[in-house]
Amino acid sequence: MIMNDHEILLAALRWNAAYENRRAIGAEKRRHEKALKAYDPAVSRALFTPAEREYSRIRSAAYDAGDRLTPARRKEQTAMRNLAKVCAVVRSQQRVEDAAEVIDVDLKLLTY
């Protein structure tokens, strides 16, 4: 199976998009968890007060972000496995003896 540049670039972009999405969800979850820790437990959280509603909103947002994080991780891992398969196919086509030859490749071709 011969891979063309478009397939290689597509696999790399899929992984990068999944990676960026997972990182954004993780950052959102950490922000919400930090906001939850900022609430003082000594402050009365009687039902239906603005503080209780805000606390509940942030807690719900943190749980939602956590629920979205696991599928995002799975999608990223799948994209990474596909990228690894593409790399293995390309590596078998290249017949490179030294890894330094691959690492020192000029990456100007990938910049736009």
- Mean local confidence (pLDDT), 6-20: 92
Could you tell me if 3 and 86 are in contact, meaning their C-beta atoms sit under 8 angstroms apart?
yes
Matching residue, tokens 């196919």: 89
For residue 55, CA distances in Å to 28, 41, 68 come to 16, 11, 20
The model's pLDDT over 54-95, given as tens digits with 9 standing for 90+, comes to 888 899 999 999 999 999 999 999 999 999 988 888 777 766
Note the pLDDT of residue 112: 46
Model pTM above 0.75: no
Confidence of residue 37 (pLDDT cuts 50, 70, 90): confident
Which letter does DSSP use for residue 39 in this model? S
- Is pLDDT at 106 greater than 60 in this prediction? no
What class does CATH assign to 5-110? mainly alpha
Compute the mean pLDDT over every residue in the chain, rounded to the nearest whole number: 82
Would you list the domain boundaries of the chain?
5-110
Note the pLDDT of residue 54: 83
